[in-house]
Chains A and B, each alone.
Chain A
């Protein structure tokens, strides 16, 4: 099994974000069950990658992250009040900035959350 690498900058960005609240997830799977796109990866495994700082694993799923409809049917059924759509938007912002080179409102000097306030 290949070793995984923790990216501390990414882990901190996730940890200091006001928007990212996937820690509340109980891994019950209702989100995957109701997803119109049947994205079984999201949000459970993907958010765990993010929480653990596994940046490479998250970036490998860029297409999946941008496929989310943000329709919030998962949120409506979530028993733990996870703001799934906002978490997805957080990951999109990160990718916009780090991978696509777009102005996602993220300052290198400031913590990620501060740039989003």
Chain B
């Protein structure tokens, strides 16, 4: 039987109301990526992760679990999971992400922070107060729980005197820039994606990367937030030749990610279609600009198409200092990524 939509949406809402995120993550895990980067606490301008990149390894693990349950008799017992989750954080117990996924997504965050530092942008970080923005609750239509949560986020930003946030992913950008102003009276925080900030800053790359890269636009960036030219400008300025798939820019094709938790098979089928479009361009590698796209398309590509977040491609061109010991800047060498089907 298919997964029970009401129980899964309910579980996410319970988590949002009780634990502040649809997939709760400890502050320690959510902020580990920033260790050693010496990003100041707070400030009028902050880098706002909304925990999206940090959450992805846990979402990947959870989706893998749900994918095994889908269309089996176990699906009908998921309501028990929702009941138990009210008392124990099952998301933390049930979803066991691979170390490789955690390192990979934390590395993307480090790349983004370094790019901004390199471009001379001054910013702080709210650390344990960098709260999830509620994108999944919005998608599911649970506006009552979302409004309560959004007010909590707004109060936290006000407490820290934040006037401007630099977002890292399209979902958090969309929530803070386009959704919150419709839900919260007086929400006047300026919101920009780091891609927009970098493009405006006009930073010059320190080395030219003479490679081609196939670009996958995020639906939200392209159709809701108008972030289309910035990633192309940044890549081209770094020396990359940007190759466009058949469905591109404002007509980009979805990665399937938004329904991964509810309908894993259908989500995967959409991702496979998109990977085929990206593959037929014939480029060396693919770049994404959303953590959900990267996870969804990466799983569908199953290692056959080198794929990485745009920040990692840019970091190779703009980075001044040598890579961290844990850094992997050669995208092609990092894939195929065995972690997707591992652990």
The answer to whether A and B come from one shared complex is yes
Main SS class of interface, B: helix
**B144, A104: Cβ atoms under 8 Å?**
yes
Complex interface: stretch among A24-32, A46-54, A95-103: A95-103
CA distance A95 to B139 in the complex (A): 13
**A73, B254: Cβ atoms under 8 Å?**
yes
Shortest B308–chain A CB gap in Å is 22
Interfacial chain A residues near B251, Cβ < 8 Å: 73, 76-77
Interfacial chain B residues near A67, Cβ < 8 Å: 259, 262-263, 266
The contact size tier of chain B is 20 to 34
**A36, B256: Cβ atoms under 8 Å?**
yes
B1-30 CB mask vs A (1 if < 8 Å, else 0) is 010011001100100010000000000000
Given contacts A69-B256, A71-B219, A89-B141, contact A37 B270 (CB under 8 A): yes
Interfacial chain A residues near B9, Cβ < 8 Å: 66, 96, 100, 102
Shortest A105–chain B CB gap in Å is 3
- Nearest neighbor of A94 in chain B, beta-carbon distance: B141
From B5, B10, B145, B147, name the one whose CB has the most chain A CB atoms within 10 angstroms: B5
**B259, A36: Cβ atoms under 8 Å?**
no
| CB neighbors of A among B241-268 (8 A) | 250-254, 256, 258-259, 262-263, 266
Given contacts A67-B266, A103-B142, contact A75 B5 (CB under 8 A): no
Contact partner of A70 (CB less than 8 A), chosen from B139, B144, B250, is B139
| CB neighbors of A among B134-151 (8 A) | 138-147
**A102, B143: Cβ atoms under 8 Å?**
no
Interfacial chain B residues near A62, Cβ < 8 Å: 5
A44 at the interface (CB under 8 A from B): no
Interfacial chain A residues near B5, Cβ < 8 Å: 62-63, 66, 100
**B10, A36: Cβ atoms under 8 Å?**
no
B223 at the interface (CB under 8 A from A): yes
Contact partner of A102 (CB less than 8 A), chosen from B2, B145, B273, is B145
Given contacts A69-B254, A76-B223, contact A104 B141 (CB under 8 A): yes
A72 at the interface (CB under 8 A from B): yes
**A116, B259: Cβ atoms under 8 Å?**
no
From A36, A37, A62, name the one whose CB has the most chain B CB atoms within 10 angstroms: A36
Interfacial chain B residues near A66, Cβ < 8 Å: 5, 9, 140, 259, 262-263
- Nearest neighbor of B8 in chain A, beta-carbon distance: A66
**A93, B143: Cβ atoms under 8 Å?**
yes
CA distance A95 to B251 in the complex (A): 30
**A104, B143: Cβ atoms under 8 Å?**
yes
B224 at the interface (CB under 8 A from A): yes
A55 at the interface (CB under 8 A from B): no
CA distance A92 to B9 in the complex (A): 11
Shortest B127–chain A CB gap in Å is 29
CA distance A104 to B147 in the complex (A): 10
A99-117 CB mask vs B (1 if < 8 Å, else 0) is 1111111100000000010
**With contacts A36-B253, A63-B263, A96-B9 known, what are 15 further pairs, Cβ within 8 A?**
A36-B254, A36-B274, A66-B140, A66-B263, A67-B259, A69-B259, A73-B254, A77-B251, A89-B139, A92-B140, A96-B142, A102-B10, A103-B145, A104-B143, A105-B144
Shortest 3 CB-CB contacts between residues of A and residues of B:
A92-B141, A105-B144, A103-B144
18 residue pairs bridging A and B, Cβ less than 8 Å apart: A36-B270, A36-B274, A66-B9, A67-B259, A67-B263, A69-B219, A69-B259, A72-B219, A73-B223, A73-B251, A73-B254, A93-B143, A96-B9, A96-B140, A103-B17, A105-B142, A105-B143, A105-B145
